[in-house]
Structure 1
Amino acid sequence: MKKKGKDQKAFPGAASAAASALLLTVMAALVFCSIRNKEEGQVLRFGMCAESYWDVPVGNCYQIVDDAIARFEKEHPGVKVEYVSGIRRDAYPEWLAEQVLLGTEPDVFMIPKGEFDTLASLGVLQELDGMIRRDGGFSSQAYYSGAYEYGNISQKQYALPYESVPTLMFVNKTFLEREGIDMPKDDWTSEEFLDICRQVTKDTDGDGILDQFGCYDYSWQDAVYANGAALFDSDGKYAYFSDVRVEEALRFVQELNGLNHGFFVTSREFDLGKAAFMPLAYSEYRTYKPYPWRIKKYSDFEWDCVKMPSGQEGESRTELDTLLMGIGSRSSRKELAWEFLKELCYEGETQRQLLEDSQGVPVVKTALLTKGGREQGQMDFEILDQVMGEAVAAPHFGKYPEAMKRADSEVERILLGEASMDSGLLKLQREMMAFLKE
């Protein structure tokens, strides 16, 4: 007994320290149980369509989402994630709009193409900046900038990117080999592109009619992006059609189209192996090139893809098409919804799985960088990383679709010679600025 008392005097803080440690352990357990009980029995609703967002054939469209849900539910015992299956892609915008009107929109949902600005302006989407700032484990730098910026409006983040589709240049290798021309390198330029098109555009049977061509479907927008120019600012307040780089791009397209002497090249010419090049969305490359989609859409020749050529004043830039996901502003489970949104759009396992089971490209850099190399039948991932790094987000302000429709009509008149280049672009610039200010 004396020894016990002596020990207590020798270590007067031991008992209190042990009691404090026990108290902290109990408190931590209570907090954990409180959080667990709070999550217990909660249901998160997720909105998605049943078909590929990229309008190409797809196998099990639910596989990636189901696997992500399984991981999320394992990390959050008692939480269930539910979604309505079987909603077709073309019916999904109407379904989502109906849910919004009823006040029953999902906690987390895919954002239909062309609806992002509308959903944000109507207050349907939760602004994410506060969640991003509070989350020490999240970094916007993990994303390809073009993909991440696509979810931003007026310097506010309303959505995260899930996957993207850049544009590549589809090359008929058999065609070039027959003409004695090497495959383009990944750093090729617009001038090299034009030179190859000059060489291969010809009348091969001597009947006075061209029957093979350089390129199908290279647009004036492709040339503008390649030349480092932009047509509008991200907020839709300014237009840049008077930029000298836009003029240079249009003159390039005029020269490219002029090689065909008025013949309108269609997809049929390319499919028959009569054209060397065609810009192609990665989703189509992914669908028709590698296992398991060995659909011989282009069966009579060997083909591959390279980066788009870079313009005189720019880089190999393309417009990036991106699938966004967001959180409903009326969700009563926003913090939990944020964690699920990250599981889909940020966590490595989901993003890496996109390479295997989707037709899009992961938006998180490490998903491609850790893969590396070239798998049989697939594009070199290092090249794909470069394409994603150089790609830019298209504007999505409310008037953008109508502005581009008007611009395309006027630019086509210029390219056809129905309006002069200089005066036509100045007129278009004035009209676009007036339209943006309406």
Structure 2
Amino acid sequence: MTKVKKNILFLSILLLISILTAIIKYNSWQAKHILTVGIYTGSPWDVPNNNQYRVFDYAIKEFKKKHPNVQIRYENGIQKSDYRNWLSEKMVQGKSPDLMIVPNNSFNLLASNGAFKDLSGLMSTNNVSTQSFYPVALKAGELKGKQYALPFQANPRFMVMNKDLLIKNKIFAPSFNWTPAELKRICRQLAITKYQGSKLGITSEYNCSDALMAYNYRLSKTKDNPIQLTTAAAIKGFNLIEYLRNIGQSKIANRDLFDQGKVAFTPISLAKYQTYTSYPYYVTNANNFTWNCLQMPHIKNAKATQVDISMFAISSKARNPKLAWQFLKTLCINKRVQEKAMEINKGCSVLPKVVLDKKVQQALSHNSQGSLTSTKLNAIMNNGYTEPKFRNFGEIYSVLDHSITKALDTNTLDDQIFYIQQQANTELKN
């Protein structure tokens, strides 16, 4: 082989090595600048909303102001009903997204199984104050003293009151912060009034869980049998729901009757309320009465507001945990992103400073006859209770609720309460 050919061969090999090295370095650089995220389309709250990606894309735009070279990838078109299975398959395949929205009712199970990264240290080193969030929102992502997810949006329940119905029946309306005793009083008065026929106090959407929380019912601290359905608070709650069913026929009163102006009260979530009071849904409703928004009735110091929380968590096997953390903060702590999410997704921001902002007050007043103010919404969020952190509590609660409702329907709750309690505790241990 001539010297010239040897030189050409050497240069060719050198060029090939250089190209391969460049490709490897580029792929390595690219891998460090790609963030995968798991989300689904539609609303977390099961209300009409085709704008979920709008909020997410807005957050990406905000994120890229500080991280212009990062690519954020997510799959389009995953339905909420399919998301849990999709995420499970990704985890089994070892292809979990770096950052993911937590599937409904799956936080306890996934966090217990080690699917999520502990964020406690990151929050401490990055000066992320727990005081920035509503307590009920932040605690939703906590398990055994460790923070495994940050809240993105909240959806609290509260009571809507038909003011006109009470006025026509000359019944004194309750204040925003009212009690179970007042609820019973009004329902009893409506049941005996003869003004324009029979009236109903409250819809069947006021459920047993609402009644229990009204008296600050909590699970027992006993490790072996945490579900105690015969405590003083539980008995008062069951008595309340039975009373409402008997005195006001709440068992047959549904949301349609409330829309027709025949029922005084109905619980409603913020997302449904904002859909209910916004155009075009509002103009399609035949209601012609004035409403007001109240907290869920409760005794003093009771946390009686159910608040559903949409959360994001970082995979414990994330390829880019640092980028995931930065984007997680953008989603959950960035004020502009939180404002946009509240505007589009119909839920509530998890940050008090956003809820109490003048922009939010103006938006609420525009859509709700001024009956829901940011001050009221802030109080409702501060009255929220946190779901217990048992591994499979979500599934147990569904069974428990079904069993209690069935017993109430057949007037056999007193006879079955111990059996229901025993079965629930047995399932909770398995």
1:394 partnered with 2:387? yes
Q: For residues 348 and 263 of structure 1, what CA distance do their matches in structure 2 show?
A: 42
Query: How many Å apart are 1:358 and its aligned residue?
Result: 1.8
CA distance in 2, matches of 1:119, 1:278: 34
Q: Deviations over 1:215-274 (max 9, x none)?
A: 102111101111111246699962232321111111111111111369632333223322
Q: Is the 8 A contact 2:176 2:293 kept in 1?
A: no
Change (3 A) 1:295 1:52: farther
Letter of the structure 2 residue corresponding to residue 282 of structure 1: L
Displacement, 1:377?
A: 2.7
Please show how residues 134-283 of structure 1 align to structure 2 within 5 Å.
134-136=125-127, 138-202=128-192, 204=194, 211-216=198-203, 217-231=205-219, 238-260=226-248, 264-283=252-271
CA distance change for structure 1 residues 43 and 437 in 2, over 3 Å: closer, same or farther?
closer
Counterpart CA distance in 2 for 1:100 and 1:89 is: 17
The corresponding residue for 2:78 is 87
Cα distance in 1 for partners of 2:223, 2:308 equals 18
2:298 aligns with one of 302, 306, 310 = 310
Taking the TM superposition and a 5 Å limit, the aligned residue runs for 1:79-118 are 79-118=70-109
- Give distance in 1, aligned partners of 2:250 and 2:46: 31
Measure the CA separation in 2 of the matches of 1:251 and 1:287: 33
Question: For the Cα contact (< 8 Å) 1:234–1:397, is it kept in 2?
Answer: no
Deviations 1:109-154 (A, max 9, x none): 1111022223223332212122222212x11121111111111122
Tell me which amino acid in the other structure corresponds to 1:401: G
Provide the rounded CA distance (Å) in 2 between the counterparts of 1:335 and 1:100: 20
Q: For residue 429 of structure 2, what is the aligned residue in structure 1?
A: 437
| Counterpart for residue 378 of structure 2 | 385
Q: Is the Cα contact below 8 Å between 1:234 and 1:395 reproduced in 2?
A: no
Query: Which amino acid in the other structure matches residue 400 of structure 1?
Result: F
* Contact in 2 for aligned 1:232/1:395 (Cα 8 Å): no
More helix by share: 2
Q: 1:231 to 1:119 in 2, by over 3 A?
A: same
CA distance in structure 2 between the partners assigned to 1:152 and 1:82 by the alignment:
27
- Whichever residue aligns with residue 193 of structure 1, its letter is L
Three-state SS of the structure 1 residue aligned to 2:304 is coil
Q: AA paired with 1:337? A: A
Using the size of structure 2 for normalisation, the TM-score is 0.83
| Residues 65 and 182 of structure 1, relative CA distance in 2, 3 Å threshold | farther
SS in 1 for 2:367: coil
Displacement of 1:326: 0.6
- Does the 8 A contact of 1:288 with 1:295 survive in 2? no
> CA distance change for structure 1 residues 90 and 409 in 2, over 3 Å: closer, same or farther?
closer
In structure 2, stretches of 5+ residues that fail to align are 1-27
Equivalent runs, 1:57-96 vs 2, <5 Å: 57-96=48-87
The answer to whether structure 1 residue 364 and structure 2 residue 354 are counterparts is no
State whether residues 173 and 301 of structure 1, in contact with CA within 8 Å, keep that contact through their aligned partners in structure 2.
yes
**Could you tell me which amino acid in structure 2 is paired with residue 330 of structure 1?**
K
Q: For residues 378-416 of structure 1, give each alpha carbon's deviation from its aligned partner in whole angstroms, at most 9, with x where no partner exists.
A: 420011101101101212533323432443344336545
Instruction: Say whether the 8 Å CA contact 2:43–2:50 is kept in structure 1.
Output: no
Gaps of at least 5 residues in structure 1 are 1-36
Match of residue 42 from structure 2:
51
Alignment partner, residue 5 of structure 1: none
2:88 partner SS: helix
Residue pair 1:114, 1:396 contacting (<8 A) in 2 also: no
Q: Distance in 2 between matches of 1:318 and 1:354?
A: 22
Aligned to 1:125: 116
Show CA shifts across 1:192-234 (max 9, x none): 111111122258599xxx7421110211110111111124669
**Is the 8 Å Cα contact of residues 142 and 365 (structure 1) preserved in structure 2?**
yes
User: Offset of 1:190 from its aligned partner?
Assistant: 1.3
2:272 to 278, 284, 287: 284
Q: In the superposition, relative to structure 1, how do residues 386 and 396 fare at CA in structure 2: closer, same or farther (>3 Å)?
A: same
Cα 1:243–1:223, aligned 2, differ >3 Å: closer, same or farther?
A: same
User: Is residue 142–residue 149 contact of structure 2 (8 Å, CA) maintained in 1?
Assistant: yes
For 1:398 and 1:310, the matched residues in 2 are separated by: 28
Q: CA RMSD in A?
A: 2.9
Q: Is the 8 A contact 1:213 1:275 kept in 2?
A: yes
Over the matched positions of the two proteins, sequence identity in percent amounts to 28
Equivalent residue for 1:6?
A: none
Q: 1:161–1:325: 8 Å Cα contact kept in structure 2?
A: yes
Structure 1's 401 and 294: CA in aligned 2 closer, same or farther, altered over 3 A?
same
Q: Distance in 2 between matches of 1:333 and 1:236?
A: 41
| Residues 236 and 399, structure 1, Cα contact 8 Å, conserved in 2 | no
Q: If the length of structure 1 is used for normalisation, what is the TM-score?
A: 0.82
**What is the one-letter code of the residue matched to 1:343?**
T
